[in-house]
Chains A and B, each alone.
Chain A
Amino acid sequence: MSETALYLAIQDVAAQYPQRRSAVLPALRLAQEAHGGWLPAEAFRAVADALELTPAYCKSVASFYDMFQLAPVGTHMIEVCTNISCALVGAQATLEAFESELGIRAGETTPDGAFTLRTIECLGGCGWGTVVSCDHRYKQHVKPADVPALIEELRHAEH
């Protein structure tokens, strides 16, 4: 997405709200998508400019929310819920299967930049644990044995 397209997309979203500042979250999301999944300095400048705010303000808002990335991330994001219900049915074993299959630890990105793996708090699928969010699509009942196939699936997914 070009800078101009991003600017126009943010204007579209902002028009939905009685006050334009309400569009900060959607605007940050658009900017993050336009910048490879994270928010570099120019992304904050773009959002600030489109909504007549300051970059520092936009960054302070972004830093409050877990879904905004302040540092580069892999092409694919794998988030394993380890909250209580998933933990009770074996989330830790599932997480460790991802760690060994990808050769990284939770919180890291593979050297080729393909995958970021992290733990996440309850995703709202607790009855069907372990829940794993792969590029923001939920996989439920994920067991360690399912992990290699899930990674293959992501490798071949378009992004």
Chain B
Amino acid sequence: MPSTEFEQIVLAGADDHDLTKLSEYEKVGGYQSLRKALGMERQAVLDELITASVRGRGGAGFPSGRKASFVPKPEQTTKPIYLTINADESEPGTFKDREIMARVPHRLIEGALITAYTIGSNAVFIYIRGEYLTEYEIVKAALDEARDRGLVGANIAGSSWNCTIVLHRGAGAYICGEETALLESLEGKRGQPRSKPPFPAIAGLYAAPTLINNVETIATVPAVIARGGAWYATLGVENANGTRVFSLSGNVVNGGNYELPLGTSLREVIYDIGGGIPNGRTLKAIIPGGSSTPILRADQIDTALDYDSVAAGGSMLGSGGIIAIDDRACMVQVALRVASFYQHESCGKCTPCREGTRWLVSLITKIEAGQGSNADLDLLVDVCGRIMGRSLCPLGDAAAMPISSYVERFREEFQAHIDQGCCPYGDQSSLDGILGPVQQAARMHRQLAVIA
């Protein structure tokens, strides 16, 4: 369970109360921030958000108050203004938004209402990933309860302000977490990203001004309004305010979500809170922020989890999904599994990513099987370079960045496969034979071809 040494913001109260219930949420001050905000000028609420400077928790880390300020004011546009909440969480290693929705759904709803009020929106869409059926039911029940109590819909909390919230389920596509793909999907289309500009703040859902924020970003808003942006800004470290709900997984004793101040070190998370590496094994590598972030070597364990420190270590804080990898894992197999995911999820709209992700998988497959040459390894690095910075949306970079980091930081393992003509782990790697959806499809097609 989450450590109690630090003050929780997003998950506060959830250990002692069933905060899925409105009455329990009200006992811990629930919906008081909404009432407070409704009594303030929109600009004053926005100023608090800007002062708090909560950096977007969806991965990119853009300051959320500033992003909200890019949305035109209601008097500056003839179109409706929309708030869309990104609950599509699908980055491997990341499962915090699921826990927020399951345990503090009303905090998400309250944060959504305050944010909508701030930008002059009367319509919120929560795009929840399709696989999250249980979480969908929990958020839906919370919404129904809030609606019955006059907190969602017309004349909210006795004010003259109206706002609807629609809970929209995705249908299984990682790319729909990318904000413009999400909007396409919400418009009833294939989830393929749009080119930017225009940015969603100007032309988003139905070409109207749209603010898009992650679940966790939105769930910080009630606390910011209750206690002030200046207070929030004292939490965490410089340039990385507040707490984050870190997801910890992989080869670690106590996997789970832990809300901690930004700036906590990887060592504290993995060893002090996570209980270290099971079965007396040794830590070999750490993926710090979801599978799209470059890998760190075990000797970088003292890296602090804030944007600048992780960047200085050659990676990114990303989605806050920390994956511990012990010494049984063949790094080439790790690369193959990660590359396979991005190939499966590439939407196919632009050439570098569509073709490049296939190339990555086939080159790594060849090297892993011990059939690769030094030229293949050079080509692998070259393909990464041809994807990075050349793709229409950041998924291309998300596929190439980790792969080039595995080669850079564990080159000796790739080289050993080439030199020995086989996997040096034999069949003893923890990932041996792992079958992803991409390999599953390829295997079925080969079977069919044999029968035909």
Interface residues of A (CB under 8 A from B): 16-19, 21-26, 28-29, 51, 60-61, 64-68, 82-85, 87-92, 95, 105-108, 118-129, 133, 136-138
B141: interface (CB < 8 Å): no
The answer, among B92, B130, B325, B433, for a CB contact under 8 Å with A83, is: B92
Inter-chain contact B323/A84, CB cutoff 8 Å: yes
Chain A residues near B404 (CB, 8 Å)?
none
Q: List 16 A-B contacts (CB under 8 A).
A: A17-B166, A18-B80, A18-B123, A19-B206, A26-B169, A67-B130, A85-B249, A85-B250, A92-B434, A118-B437, A122-B94, A124-B98, A126-B94, A126-B323, A127-B255, A137-B133
Q: Which stretch in B15-23, B30-38, B186-194, B235-243 binds the other chain?
A: B186-194
B432: interface (CB < 8 Å): yes
Interface residues of B (CB under 8 A from A): 80, 89-95, 97-98, 123, 129-134, 166, 168-174, 185-192, 206, 247-251, 255-257, 287, 291, 321, 323, 325-326, 329, 334, 337-338, 341, 344-345, 347, 430-437, 440-441, 443-444
Inter-chain contact A127/B248, CB cutoff 8 Å: yes
Chain B residues near A65 (CB, 8 Å)?
130, 170-173, 191
Q: With A83-B92, A106-B435 given, is the CB distance from A127 to B247 under 8 Å?
A: yes
Inter-chain contact B251/A88, CB cutoff 8 Å: yes
Ranked 6 nearest A-B pairs via Cβ: A127-B255, A66-B172, A24-B188, A65-B171, A126-B249, A21-B188
Inter-chain contact B249/A16, CB cutoff 8 Å: no
Inter-chain contact A28/B171, CB cutoff 8 Å: yes
The closest CB in chain A to the CB of B436 belongs to A82
Inter-chain contact B131/A84, CB cutoff 8 Å: no
Q: With A87-B431, A88-B251, A92-B432 given, is the CB distance from A136 to B188 under 8 Å?
A: no
Chain A residues near B291 (CB, 8 Å)?
83-84, 122
Known: A60-B190, A88-B430, A106-B435. 10 other contacts (CB 8 A): A21-B187, A25-B169, A65-B171, A84-B341, A105-B443, A119-B440, A121-B92, A124-B89, A124-B98, A126-B323
Determine how close the nearest CB of chain A comes to the CB of B139; give it in whole angstroms.
14
Chain A residues near B443 (CB, 8 Å)?
105, 107
Determine how close the nearest CB of chain A comes to the CB of B386; give it in whole angstroms.
24
Q: With A107-B444, A128-B256 given, is the CB distance from A82 to B434 under 8 Å?
A: yes
The closest CB in chain B to the CB of A99 belongs to B435
Q: With A29-B171, A126-B94, A126-B323 given, is the CB distance from A84 to B435 under 8 Å?
A: no
The closest CB in chain B to the CB of A92 belongs to B434
Inter-chain contact B437/A84, CB cutoff 8 Å: no
Chain A residues near B190 (CB, 8 Å)?
60-61, 64
Q: How far is the CA of A28 from the CA of B169 in the complex (A)?
A: 11
Chain A residues near B321 (CB, 8 Å)?
126
The closest CB in chain A to the CB of B256 belongs to A127
The closest CB in chain B to the CB of A17 belongs to B166
Q: How far is the CA of A119 from the CA of B440 in the complex (A)?
A: 7
Chain A residues near B172 (CB, 8 Å)?
65-68
Inter-chain contact A67/B171, CB cutoff 8 Å: yes
Chain B residues near A22 (CB, 8 Å)?
168, 186-188
The closest CB in chain A to the CB of B439 belongs to A119
Determine how close the nearest CB of chain A comes to the CB of B336; give it in whole angstroms.
10
Determine how close the nearest CB of chain A comes to the CB of B26; give it in whole angstroms.
27
The answer, among A92, A121, A128, for a CB contact under 8 Å with B345, is: A121
Chain B residues near A95 (CB, 8 Å)?
435
Chain A residues near B255 (CB, 8 Å)?
85, 126-129
Q: With A19-B187, A64-B190, A129-B249 given, is the CB distance from A84 to B171 under 8 Å?
A: no
Inter-chain contact A66/B95, CB cutoff 8 Å: no
Q: How far is the CA of A54 from the CA of B248 in the complex (A)?
A: 45
Chain A residues near B192 (CB, 8 Å)?
64
Determine how close the nearest CB of chain A comes to the CB of B252; give it in whole angstroms.
8
The closest CB in chain A to the CB of B431 belongs to A87
The answer, among B80, B132, B185, B329, for a CB contact under 8 Å with A25, is: B185
The closest CB in chain A to the CB of B338 belongs to A84
Chain B residues near A21 (CB, 8 Å)?
187-189
Q: With A18-B206, A92-B435 given, is the CB distance from A61 to B188 under 8 Å?
A: yes
Q: How far is the CA of A88 from the CA of B173 in the complex (A)?
A: 23
